[in-house]
Every structure is written in C-alpha cells, then in structure tokens.
Structure 1
Amino acid sequence: MDNQSRRDAVRAFKERKVSAGVFAVRCQPTGEVWVSASRNLEAQQTSLWSQLKWKGCYTKALQEAWNTHGEEAFSFEVLETVEDEELSPMGLADRLKSLDAAWREKLGAAKALG
C-alpha cells in the first residue's frame, strides 16, 4: 500500500459513522438476557466477546453462563440505535442511560456491562 492509499484509508476510518445505542446479549440455553448501552455498537460485540473468552468480564453471571455454555450459546442483538448528530456528549450519555434502563425493564434483563 503506498503512502497516499494509507492516508486515504486512515482518513476514511476516522470519518466513519459510529452507531451508538442499546444491545442485548442472550444465552439460548437459559433464556437469560443482559442489556447495556454503547457509544460504538460496531465494536461492542468484539470487545465483549474478547472479555468473555479471556474470563475478564465484570458481569459475574454473564461470565459464568459463558463459561458453562460456551460462545455458540450466545447471541448479540442491537435493540435500538441513537442518532447522535444533534446531541451533545452529555445529551447522548443521558439518552443512552434512559434507553438502557427502559430496555432492561422491558426485557427483564440484567446489566451486561458495569
């Protein structure tokens, strides 16, 4: 890859649109559901799966279910995205927090992260 192509690729990466929103992790054998909000849904599953594989997830029940049933038993689902172009960082944080709480209540889910 030449220098111009590399610069173009870096610029495109930095300018890409990142989706914020709320996601669910489901354990098929048990029916358990965990919900959390994320500022970057595209990267969230990779990050969470990595934590679980390396036994570093802070959500004890989720880690225990993963250890018992394995990766194949889990699914990652985006529940709702937030258009954040008109929101301030604080406004986005507040919106994600309220959506997180609403989805956890709706699904009877536990908190997936934190």
Structure 2
Amino acid sequence: MKPEERKQAGNLYAHSHRLMGVYGLKHKQSGKWFIASAMNVEGKRNGLYFTLNMGGHINKRLSEDWKRDGEDAFEFHLLEELKPEEEYVANDEDRKKYVSRLKKLEEQWLNKLQPYEENGYHNRPADK
C-alpha cells in the first residue's frame, strides 16, 4: 500500500463509527445495575473493567461490590445500540449529534430500570 493510501485508510478508520449505545453492568446476585452510554461501547467496556480491576472506578459502591465479589459476579449487557446514519463521522457536529442521542437513550434506560439506591449503583436524580 502506498503512503497516501495508508494515510487515507487510517483517516477513514479514525472517523468510522464504533459500536455506539447504552450498556449496563449487572451484579448477578443482587440484580443491581450500572448504566452508561458510549460512542465506543467496546472501548468503554475495556476501560470500565480495567478501572474496576485496578480499584479506581469513581462509583465506590460498584467498586466495593466488584472487589468483594469479583468480575465473574457481573454481566455486561448492550441494552440498546444506536445505529449511525452515515458511514463515518466527518466533523464535530456529527459527533455531537450522536452524543446527544446517546444521553437521551441513557436517560430512557435509567427511567426504565430505576438503578437507584438498593436497585443499582446510581444516585437518585434530584427533582427538577
């Protein structure tokens, strides 16, 4: 492959979509959920497992259960995939569009599963 072809292929890959969506980490025994969304679900999953295994996740209740019960006590779920409208992200506006949609989907899943207090790892949102 010629250098300019390699550069173009690299650029297309860098701007191509990864699996986007809302994911959940479920504690099998308690049924507690940790819900989040990502532009790159597999990358976020890897980062989540890494920080939990290192004991550095920001969610202390999740970290405590992970440390006590181990990785095998949890299941990772893709709750909803967000399909891209175009083949690749050409600019920041395209990216912002998906981030906004992902946040809305995440809110819907939080409302559906109610992963608060004893049911999950999230703090109940303040009344608006």
Among candidates 86, 91, 96, match of residue 102 of structure 2: 96
Partner residue in 1 for 2:89: none
Matched-pair contact (CA < 8 Å) for 2:24–2:34: yes
The within-5 A match list for 1:53-64 is 53-64=53-64
TM-score in terms of structure 1 length: 0.79
The offset of 1:85, in angstroms, is: 3.4
In structure 1, runs of 5+ residues without a counterpart are none
Bigger radius of gyration: 2
Partner residue in 2 for 1:51: 51
User: Cα gap change, 1:35/1:42 in structure 2, threshold over 3 Å: closer, same or farther?
Assistant: same
| CA distance in 2 between partners of 1:68 and 1:78 (Å) | 24
| CA distance in 2 between partners of 1:38 and 1:19 (Å) | 8
Equivalent residues, number: 107
- After TM superposition, which residue ranges in structure 1, 4 or more long, deviate above 4 angstroms? none
TM-score in terms of structure 2 length: 0.71
SS at match of 2:31: coil
- State whether structure 2 residue 76 is matched by structure 1 residue 76: yes
The offset of 1:65, in angstroms, is: 1.0
